[in-house]
Amino acid sequence: MEKDSQFSPYKIDELTYEQAVSELESIVLALESESHSLDESLALYERGQLLAKRCAVLLNQAELKVKLLSEENLVNFPEEE
């Protein structure tokens, strides 16, 4: 895959969630709207899969952190009827 200015030059494991999602969206748009060679399309697809995995990892980490923080400050609220 040629280095395209719309895709991040950074390693995937260095991207924030927002950066990874933004690049993933760009890849999806590029695959849907542009004509690419088979090799370019496969490279875009592969990077997209890695970006999706990165997003999932970051979301899981954030969810775990929220659970841990919630357990420390757990407050029982009365049930609404």
List the chain pLDDT tens, one digit each, 81 residues.
Answer: 444 445 777 799 999 999 999 999 999 999 998 889 999 999 999 999 999 999 999 999 999 988 888 876 666 667 776
Third-level CATH fold of 12-66: Helix Hairpins (1.10.287)
pLDDT for residue 11: 92
User: How many of the other CB atoms lie within 10 Å of CB of 47?
Assistant: 17
Domain boundaries, the chain: 12-66
pLDDT for residue 3: 44
Query: pTM here?
Result: 0.75
Residue type at 63 in one-letter notation: E
CB 51 within 8 A of CB 12: yes
pLDDT for residue 6: 59
The two three-digit tokens of residue 52, written as one number: 């999706």
